[in-house]
Structure 1
Amino acid sequence: MKKPNWKYLLIAACLCYSSIAQAETKAVPAIESFFKLDNFGGASLAPDGKHVAILLAGPDQRLALTIMDTATNKLQVIARYSNLDITSVSWVNNHRVVYSMGDRQLAAGQQRMGPGLIAIDIDGKNEREIIERTSTGSAKFRVLGARYQFYSVVGTPDSNDIFVIQGSGTRKNPSATLMRVNTVDGVMTGINSPINTSGFLMDYQGELRIAVRRIEKQTAILYKDPKNDTWRTLTEFDNVNEDGFSPLTIGPDGSLYVVSHNGNDTKSVYKYDLENNRIIPTPLVELAGFDFNGSLIFSKSKNKLIGVRYETDAQGTTWLDENIQKIQEKVDALLPNTINRITTPRNSGEIVQINSFSDTIPGLSFIYNTVSGKLSPLGINRPEIDERQMSYKNFVRIKARDGLEIPSYITLPRNSNGKNLPLIVMVHGGPYLRGGSWGWNPQVQLLASRGYAVIEPDFRGSEGYGKKLFQSGWKQWGLKMQDDLDDARQWAIDQGYADPNRVCIAGASYGGYATLMGLIRNPGLYRCGISWVGVSDINLLYDVSWSDNSEQWQKYGMPFLIGDQEKDAAQLKATSPLEQAARLKNPLLLAYGAADYRVPLVHGTKFYDAIKDHNKEVEWVVYKDEGHGWRRLDNNIDFWSRVEKFLDKHLGKK
């Protein structure tokens, strides 16, 4: 395999176990194995490192909350439900946790309740409901309604308190109410914050210091000065077309760290001068060719920064603390071929938690004793997946026809010669986000296991790689954004990876839109297309009132980034698949969720009605209770079985 670029990454790539036989397995992995529910839902280390909270499923596939003593490895299940999963857990302090619930076996349209919130001691005692899952119609004593959500723990060792929020305001100007709740007695305290704020940042003492206000297209960052407990505005900027900054964290000494372009192409981490209301010009963390996306790791006892997590072509961690760096080196020696993310105790302790993964391994979790050197497993994601059958993913930068670099990931079938393969151009949704990442992806790996090469371009308009790439995609739906996909296809052909006569374009949401436009615009480049939950008419994004898009996005973001319905009417018509449906004659698989509120079903029904009479190669499926993507295993098996048969028919079996 080809590892992530060592120029960007400090740790290695892919895991090999001595217990795994060297011979390659021949059987093609079942579709079910890529999408079935995980028996392991994650683990979280206590602040003192003496216990780990683990989410594990039994034979009924329901995730239960288990506490493990890290000294003895003894397990105790403290919460389990026959009809629900415990989906998340957070440590309040060394002896108490809070958890939320859900039902992993239901589709989006079948979900009727919120996650709720329960507090419980690690011995299973003193359980208390903090937030109910659904409104009972009558008030409960010291129990918050279902509209509240868990926000964060206070984080001080002796505190039983947490923060919760309740969304309020309107779709136009959303806001939130912040409260502090004692998880033992249920006493609630309102937190004084500026009006119309919807984002918050606390300091290490659990005091609110930063509030974010978004009104229409303006964002304001406000700061509560601990010297006089008064609020003042640090900055105010236009959400869409002005450079501002995002508050990242507050250090143990009260210093504010922010993420900003600060006049440069990529976003970096800066320290903020609170006395003079300015960003200190020298970046603290700068990543060549990538926007900063990660976190700063502080030691409260040492009162200093000890590490940085980030993502470039893959995830990485740089430790500034010599002792933790030595621990990282020892862990990497034990697990030489995975990315190994170490979590240290919030307080001092000899136990650290490790989350490991690679492009061929979904995920593993361990605890590591830094004194004895013992590595103990906690859980494995998708144990049915055999890494010997998975394919390697590599990061590349492709030159578009106008010279712009398009970051992309290419996956070639593991046991192929890497030449003249059928190719899937996989288009991410959003589109204004980073699509690709280095790690195990069930959709990509399924396709690769069937003999298809997969290329994932982060076309212009994608975020994460600098302002130039992002802004080059403004008002380019169906135009230069589409050119980038065609250029990625051509690059794979020029490299010898792909057969030019066997290329399919595929994607969900915006990726579904791009699939439709790819077949309309350049039908000779793609033999077929697969579009699920795809946008079929740009104007419907503006006009459909039951979409979950915010009014701010519809009124301010979309006209700026996609196009103005009046000023750009001709362009929107020319680049809306529904308006051009008569031109689409290639084989097409269309799939939608009937309960989708992001891209409502009307996008699908209108387009299918417009194409079905003249295109006899269109296949159509609607999943009754699904939303913006598929949650149920049976629906995933059905959809990807259709995809497999569709590709076999139109691209040819591997």
Structure 2
Amino acid sequence: MSGVTASGLALAAALCVSSPAAAERPIADFARLPAIAGPELSPNGKQIIARAAQNGAQKIVIFNTDRSGESTVIDADKGDLNWYRWVNNDWLIANVGNVALDTGFYVTRIVAFRADGSKMHYVQQKEVGQHAGDVIWQANDGSTRILLASQKSVYASDPDFWPEVSLVDVATNKFDKVVWPKEGVMSWYADGSGAVRVGIGDENGGRDHRLLYRDRAQDGFRVVARTGEGKNDLPVPVLFLAEPGKAAAFSDKNGRTALYMLDLATMQTGAMLYEAPEHDLDSLIADPTETQIRGVRYTDTRRRTVWFDPKMQQVQAGLEQAFAGKQVQIVSQSADEQTFVIRESSPSAPGSYYTLSLGTGKLAMLGMENPAIGNKPLAAVKTISYTARDGMKLNAVLTLPSGGTSKNLPLIVLPHGGPRARDYEHWDFWTQFLADRGYAVLQPNYRGSTGFGAAYTAAGDGEWGLKMQDDVDDARAWAVTTGLADGKRVCIAGGSYGGYVAMRAAERNPDLYRCAISFAGVSDLPAILKFDSQFVGGLGNLDYWKSRAPDLRAVSPINNAERTGIPILVIHGKKDLRVPLAQSKDYVEKLKKAGKPVEFYIQPEGDHHFSREEDRLSFLGQMEAFLDKHNPAN
């Protein structure tokens, strides 16, 4: 990673240019990386850090909130940039990840840098652990102190494998160890004052868990709760409240993830603090002191924020009135709560960011995510419900091409990755590109998806390539039965687990689809089990993978290549750190030996996340050419 200062970076001007609408937009319009993403205000509200697209890659950019003067560009030139945040008005930290050359393990660490780009250093001088960059607290007094939980080894047999906690001054790189490693404990939690209060430990090779607790920093830890038989439902505090002996914790004991009061003396959940209607909660919003709950977030058909704080309720209401009909989210705010960064968006148009000055009430455009498309709505997006063949109620996100009829359309079934994830109504460059080319796109939230309650997620246990696959096929059946889609013009596509679903469909029931497309898909479950076992969790990870299906080999597409009955397009990034390239490469070799129609492209610099504009552009172009050949929209 290197830092440079770029003069005259006309960020606002570059981000706010819009292009005229076209009947069929250039591929490049959809392939663009977000011109601005993830903006966060400095504590004094005078500067913003964000990701910005430059020369086909995303850089970290720091600029003045009023967009005056020079901007600082931080080049994260290797590995993953997992997150960044302000420590005070002058210093920031970021979590970066990469595959260590000496061990082959994916490791993380923290880099610290000044906002003006004049200084930068790794907090840990060596790539030492998979969990070496866990910041569990940072001071809010203007100093540069953080609490860092960090491994010093990737090998479970080494005592340094288990993280220690240190008080670190990121400006001077001075370390003071405050908690020594404890065998099995991988996660530590601190209260708002910076006292480490809770540790979560594994036992029996990751199958069982224990919770360690102490009332004060000077006390010793004691085990206060355990789980066994592979369960992991410990009452983990997500926020230590100002009231002594009380915390807030998430629990799904009533079927959906909700927020509860937690008694630290008994580690028992008490009164429910908030439950979302029919959906799981996503996160909690704390005040700057990390002792009070300000709100919660959840996702139903869209992402929503519920504020408990009256002031924030008023701000949110005003913003929703100003951006009527749009999805509006407060993404960052200054310490004095006078300056805010706002994102407005819709499922049919890329988002835009604004700054809000509470003192003047003025909204100022910060930038558009996609200046080529602007904020004019494209294809309509909505959520539909359907019933699986065994009676389970499911839902899916449907994107329809603009104009014309909504009958007998060519269809792309596009299951999400994860699979412990979900789709909802938001801007998606992949689906919007397909809709622009004339396809309806259906994204089923099959059983095993998250956000719809514990039973919905648990219904996917043991059903990889089986009932989860049926749910995807049943979404197709809904589209055909309702007359929306032409059953003879349906293809299936997906990335990661969604790529697995596409591969599986090509050999399990090729009669339902004309073609399949896999990006970074998993083809060999026993092999991914072996690869994933290197990550923290040990036998716990192995148990997870072994529980995905009764027979992993039987539901692995690589073992059923000879049954593949439709053309398939396979694309994979060579630098994918999540799903190894071999998952696609070995699968394609099997298909070729079996004489099956397959097109295979390797993205030499590609990763798992479409982080480079060049990779997005090539992917969309290859997909379009493949669909024109095997399932043309016209």
Aligned to 2:101: none
Q: Secondary structure at the match of 2:274?
A: coil
1:32-84 alpha-carbon deviations (Å, 9 max, x no partner): 232333332432123344544455566796735434256xx534435556978
Say whether residues 1:562 and 2:556 are aligned partners: no
Mapped to 2, the partners of 1:578 and 1:541 lie a distance apart of 12
Q: CA 1:492–1:168 in structure 2 vs 1: closer, same or farther (change >3 Å)?
A: farther
Match of 1:611 among 573, 586, 591: 591
Q: Which amino acid aligns with 2:85?
A: S
Structure with the greater relative contact order (CA < 8 A, sep ≥ 6): 1 or 2? Answer: 1
Aligned to 2:298: 310
Mapped to 2, the partners of 1:103 and 1:477 lie a distance apart of 29
Query: Is the deviation greater in 265-274 or in 282-291?
Result: 282-291
Mapped to 1, the partners of 2:504 and 2:249 lie a distance apart of 39
Aligned to 2:409: 421
1:450-495 alpha-carbon deviations (Å, 9 max, x no partner): 1111111121122221222222211112211111011111112233
Tell me, yes or no, if the aligned pair for 1:116 and 1:133 is still in contact at 8 Å.
no
Aligned to 1:77: 71
Aligned to 2:487: 500
Tell me, yes or no, if the aligned pair for 1:202 and 1:208 is still in contact at 8 Å.
yes
Mapped to 2, the partners of 1:238 and 1:454 lie a distance apart of 42
Aligned to 1:540: 527
Match of 1:290 among 271, 276, 279: 279
Aligned to 2:264: 274
Q: CA 1:238–1:99 in structure 2 vs 1: closer, same or farther (change >3 Å)?
A: same
Tell me, yes or no, if the aligned pair for 1:317 and 1:341 is still in contact at 8 Å.
yes
Q: CA 1:283–1:82 in structure 2 vs 1: closer, same or farther (change >3 Å)?
A: closer
1:467-526 alpha-carbon deviations (Å, 9 max, x no partner): 222222111122111110111111122332211111111112222222122222222211
Output the TM-score relative to the length of structure 2.
0.85
Q: Which amino acid aligns with 1:643?
A: M
Tell me, yes or no, if the aligned pair for 2:137 and 2:190 is still in contact at 8 Å.
no
The Cα of 1:424 is off from its aligned counterpart by: 1.0
Tell me, yes or no, if the aligned pair for 1:353 and 1:368 is still in contact at 8 Å.
yes
Aligned to 2:200: 212
Matched pairs, number = 606
Tell me, yes or no, if the aligned pair for 1:547 and 1:599 is still in contact at 8 Å.
no
Output the TM-score relative to the length of structure 1.
0.83
In the TM superposition, 1:417-566 aligns within 5 A as 417-431=405-419, 433-543=420-530, 551-559=538-546, 561-563=547-549
Q: Secondary structure at the match of 2:221?
A: strand
Q: Which amino acid aligns with 1:562?
A: R
Q: Which amino acid aligns with 1:424?
A: I
Q: Which amino acid aligns with 1:45?
A: L
Mapped to 2, the partners of 1:130 and 1:544 lie a distance apart of 28
Mapped to 2, the partners of 1:472 and 1:490 lie a distance apart of 20
Match of 2:622 among 619, 624, 642: 642
Q: Which amino acid aligns with 1:131?
A: V
Q: What fraction of aligned residue pairs are identical, expressed as a percent?
A: 27
Q: Secondary structure at the match of 1:639?
A: helix
Aligned to 2:13: none
Tell me, yes or no, if the aligned pair for 2:500 and 2:523 is still in contact at 8 Å.
yes
Mapped to 1, the partners of 2:97 and 2:288 lie a distance apart of 37
Mapped to 1, the partners of 2:76 and 2:596 lie a distance apart of 47
Q: Secondary structure at the match of 1:362?
A: strand
Query: Is the deviation greater in 74-83 or in 550-559?
Result: 74-83
Q: CA 1:75–1:415 in structure 2 vs 1: closer, same or farther (change >3 Å)?
A: farther
Q: CA 1:306–1:516 in structure 2 vs 1: closer, same or farther (change >3 Å)?
A: closer
In the TM superposition, 1:161-172 aligns within 5 A as 161-168=145-152, 170=154
Q: CA 1:325–1:507 in structure 2 vs 1: closer, same or farther (change >3 Å)?
A: same
In the TM superposition, 1:76-475 aligns within 5 A as 76-78=70-72, 80=74, 89-93=84-88, 95-100=89-94, 117-120=111-114, 127=119, 129-131=121-123, 148-149=132-133, 151=135, 154-168=138-152, 170=154, 175-193=162-180, 195=182, 196-215=184-203, 216-226=206-216, 229-238=219-228, 240-241=230-231, 243-253=233-243, 255-262=246-253, 264-280=254-270, 282-298=271-287, 300=289, 304-343=292-331, 345=333, 347-388=335-376, 390-431=378-419, 433-475=420-462
Mapped to 2, the partners of 1:648 and 1:562 lie a distance apart of 35
Tell me, yes or no, if the aligned pair for 1:416 and 1:451 is still in contact at 8 Å.
no
Mapped to 2, the partners of 1:495 and 1:507 lie a distance apart of 23
Tell me, yes or no, if the aligned pair for 1:219 and 1:239 is still in contact at 8 Å.
no
Aligned to 2:26: 30
1:538-562 alpha-carbon deviations (Å, 9 max, x no partner): 3323445897686335432122x22
Mapped to 2, the partners of 1:574 and 1:113 lie a distance apart of 32
Match of 1:590 among 570, 592, 607: 570
The Cα of 1:578 is off from its aligned counterpart by: 2.7
The Cα of 1:148 is off from its aligned counterpart by: 4.5
For structure 1, the 5+ residue unaligned runs are 1-18, 105-109, 136-143
Aligned to 1:13: none
Q: Secondary structure at the match of 1:574?
A: coil
The Cα of 1:112 is off from its aligned counterpart by: 11
1:125-148 alpha-carbon deviations (Å, 9 max, x no partner): 6x353526767xxxxxxxx99994
Mapped to 1, the partners of 2:457 and 2:56 lie a distance apart of 45
Tell me, yes or no, if the aligned pair for 1:413 and 1:451 is still in contact at 8 Å.
yes
Q: CA 1:549–1:488 in structure 2 vs 1: closer, same or farther (change >3 Å)?
A: farther
The Cα of 1:574 is off from its aligned counterpart by: 3.4
Tell me, yes or no, if the aligned pair for 2:196 and 2:217 is still in contact at 8 Å.
no
Aligned-residue RMSD, C-alpha: 3.6
Tell me, yes or no, if the aligned pair for 1:203 and 1:250 is still in contact at 8 Å.
yes
Q: Which amino acid aligns with 1:380?
A: M
Tell me, yes or no, if the aligned pair for 1:240 and 1:557 is still in contact at 8 Å.
no
Mapped to 1, the partners of 2:228 and 2:43 lie a distance apart of 39
For structure 2, the 5+ residue unaligned runs are 1-16, 99-103
Aligned to 2:10: none
Q: Which amino acid aligns with 2:395?
A: P
Aligned to 2:579: 599
Q: Secondary structure at the match of 1:306?
A: strand
Mapped to 2, the partners of 1:389 and 1:624 lie a distance apart of 34
Q: Secondary structure at the match of 1:388?
A: coil
Tell me, yes or no, if the aligned pair for 1:39 and 1:63 is still in contact at 8 Å.
no
Q: Which amino acid aligns with 1:498?
A: A
